[in-house]
């Protein structure tokens, strides 16, 4: 109790800074509008809800996209079951809105007892499902106090996070005691959670539901249509989800590539929408003829950089490329990489920088199968691209291998649904 008191006091002091960053207007970022009050527990009730809804918490865009297949499976199983999806960010909210009437969206309250109580009173959820490891002490405590079962799915715990929690074991104990079940991505994650004191009976290994990524025919067709627009015969590579500090490295690698592949095209997709304009300017300052996707301009042979400045179209953009480099992996340990499963599911050869600890096992599986290559520098990116573009059979084999890794690991969704049903049906 005393620990939660000091935690809440610290949160009170830091919340204004967190909320300032959350609400600060940025280019291409959806606004919260009048809905900002939902962060303080003033949550609108559901209309015409006959049964208590299932509450699924996702932080932002990535978690929403990962949760969509599970949401659709839950609705197929129980069409009348209401589902409320919470996000912290407005970009995540925009992604949920694409699901239409399938779910209702609400913003996640800040982690105070009183805000969570306000949410629970308005929504009256039957169960809470948390995507990955978004664990907040007051939320878990308050939800547990209301006898609402809590499941953490697709849970992962890197060695780095494990060591951090180990230093503050008393904080982790606040989290662990309120969780009903923890569905882990792999045995290594499960072992780390057990070492931190989670009851072994609460832990199941289900694999990552991200392996169950489904690429619809409409997305594939949209990718092919974009490829036709960009140029079917030219070599095209994509640098996906890049962060500040990586774009210049990517552009340097592309400049080097053009010496051997003069008609090559780079699709450059910054991770955060507020950086679209600055990255486009950077590309132009490097001397590249640059086109933004939203400009809807005709792409010519003289266009060498295409900026993906839209949200929710990553699969289409990857589908239009031959090779995918995944960002967040070239700037030391700041980010720890991003998920390579989407390009792998599209049978694209994968490249990554040396920092990928957030997706360690997924990346290592791709590396072991030779569906992925590590690039330690701009020159290595160029070298790998040159080799692959010069040998189409090698490029195809590598892409097929990446896809086989995804196919071999499918099945997590069914297991996750089975364990969720076991808890929520009680």
Q: Is 90 exceeded by the pLDDT of residue 140? A: yes
pLDDT in tens, 270-281: 998 889 999 999
Measured CA to CA, the distance from residue 278 to residue 424 in angstroms comes to 47
Q: The domain spanning residue 251 has which CATH number?
A: 3.40.50.2000
Range of the domain at 306: 217-408
Residues 179 and 224 grouped into a single domain: no
**Is residue 140 included in any domain, yes or no?**
yes
Q: What is the DSSP string of 231-290?
A: -SSS-EEEEEEE-TTTHHHHHHHHHHHTTT-TT-EEEEEESSGGGHHHHHHHHHHTT--E
Rounded average pLDDT over 106-130 = 96
Residues 174 and 307 grouped into a single domain: no
What amino acid positions are annotated as catalytic residues?
63
**Is residue 222 included in any domain, yes or no?**
yes
Residues 354 and 242 grouped into a single domain: yes
Higher-pLDDT residue of 48, 13: 13
Measured CA to CA, the distance from residue 19 to residue 13 in angstroms comes to 11
Q: How confident is the model at residue 48 (pLDDT cuts 50, 70, 90)?
A: confident
Residues 280 and 141 grouped into a single domain: no
Residues 279 and 233 grouped into a single domain: yes
Closest by CA to 337, choosing from 361, 307, 309, 371, is 361
Higher-pLDDT residue of 157, 330: 330
Residues 268 and 368 grouped into a single domain: yes
Rounded average pLDDT over 233-257 = 97
**Is residue 309 included in any domain, yes or no?**
yes
Total Cβ atoms within 10 A of residue 317: 22
- Total domains present in the chain: 2
Rounded average pLDDT over 42-46 = 94
**Is residue 4 included in any domain, yes or no?**
no
Q: Is 70 exceeded by the pLDDT of residue 392? A: yes
Residue 223 near residue 244, CB atoms below 8 Å: no
Residues 74 and 164 grouped into a single domain: yes
Residues 281 and 228 grouped into a single domain: yes
Rounded average pLDDT over 218-246 = 97
The whole-chain average pLDDT of the chain stands at 93
Residue 416 near residue 183, CB atoms below 8 Å: yes
**Is residue 16 included in any domain, yes or no?**
no
pLDDT at position 426, please?
54
Rounded average pLDDT over 1-22 = 86
Rounded average pLDDT over 1-18 = 86
Closest by CA to 234, choosing from 296, 284, 303, 324, is 303
Give me the count of residues in the chain. 426
Residues 252 and 183 grouped into a single domain: no
Q: The domain spanning residue 176 has which CATH number?
A: 3.40.50.11720
pLDDT at position 60, please?
83
**Is residue 228 included in any domain, yes or no?**
yes
Measured CA to CA, the distance from residue 190 to residue 204 in angstroms comes to 8
Rounded average pLDDT over 298-302 = 93
The proportion of the chain whose per-residue pLDDT surpasses 90, expressed as a percent, equals 73
Predicted TM-score (pTM) of this structure: 0.79
Q: What 3-state class would DSSP assign to 333? A: coil
Max mean pLDDT among 40-54, 202-216, 231-245 falls in: 231-245
Q: Is 70 exceeded by the pLDDT of residue 425? A: no
pLDDT at position 4, please?
85
Q: Is 60 exceeded by the pLDDT of residue 72? A: yes
Q: What 3-state class would DSSP assign to 376? A: coil
Residues 91 and 133 grouped into a single domain: yes
pLDDT at position 145, please?
95
Residues 172 and 222 grouped into a single domain: no
**Is residue 10 included in any domain, yes or no?**
no
Residues 131 and 56 grouped into a single domain: yes
Q: Is 90 exceeded by the pLDDT of residue 30? A: no
**Is residue 5 included in any domain, yes or no?**
no
């Amino acid at each position: 109790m005393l620990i939660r008191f000091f935690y809440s006091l610290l949160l009170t002091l830091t919340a204004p800074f967190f909320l300032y960053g959350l609400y600060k207007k940025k280019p291409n970022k959806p606004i919260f509008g009048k809905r900002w009050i939902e962060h303080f527990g003033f949550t609108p009730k559901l209309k015409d809800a006959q049964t208590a809804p299932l509450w699924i918490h996702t932080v932002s865009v990535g978690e929403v996209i990962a949760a969509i297949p599970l949401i659709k499976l839950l609705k197929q199983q129980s069409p009348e079951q209401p589902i409320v999806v919470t996000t912290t960010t407005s970009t995540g909210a925009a992604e949920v809105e694409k699901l239409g009437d399938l779910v209702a969206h609400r913003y996640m309250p800040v982690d105070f007892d009183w805000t969570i109580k306000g949410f629970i009173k308005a929504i009256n959820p039957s169960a809470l499902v948390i995507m990955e490891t978004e664990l907040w002490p007051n939320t878990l405590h308050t939800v547990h106090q209301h006898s609402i079962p809590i499941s953490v799915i697709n849970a992962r715990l890197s060695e780095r996070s494990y060591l951090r929690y180990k230093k503050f074991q008393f904080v982790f104990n606040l989290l662990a005691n309120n969780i009903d079940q923890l569905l882990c991505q792999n045995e290594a994650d499960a072992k780390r959670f057990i070492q931190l004191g989670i009851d072994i009976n609460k832990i199941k290994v289900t694999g990552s539901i991200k392996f169950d990524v489904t690429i619809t025919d409409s997305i594939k067709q949209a990718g092919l249509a974009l490829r036709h627009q960009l140029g079917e015969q030219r070599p095209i590579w994509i640098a996906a989800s890049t962060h500040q500090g990586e774009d210049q490295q990517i552009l340097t690698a592309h400049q080097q590539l053009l010496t051997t592949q003069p008609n090559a095209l780079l699709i450059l997709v910054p991770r955060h929408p507020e950086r679209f304009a600055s990255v486009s300017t950077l590309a132009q300052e490097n001397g590249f003829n640059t086109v933004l996707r939203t400009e809807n301009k005709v792409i010519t042979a003289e266009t060498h950089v295409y900026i993906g400045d839209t949200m929710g179209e990553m699969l289409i953009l990857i589908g239009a490329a031959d090779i995918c480099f995944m960002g967040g992996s070239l700037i030391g340990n700041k980010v720890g990489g991003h998920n390579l499963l989407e390009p792998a599911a599209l049978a694209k050869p994968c490249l990554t920088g040396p920092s990928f600890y957030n997706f360690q096992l997924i990346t290592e599986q791709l590396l072991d199968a030779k569906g992925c290559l590590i690039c330690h520098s701009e020159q290595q990116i160029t070298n790998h691209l040159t080799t692959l573009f010069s040998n189409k059979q090698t490029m195809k084999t590598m892409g097929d291998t990446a896809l086989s890794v995804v196919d071999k690991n499918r099945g997590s969704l069914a297991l996750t649904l089975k364990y969720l049903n076991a808890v929520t049906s009680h």
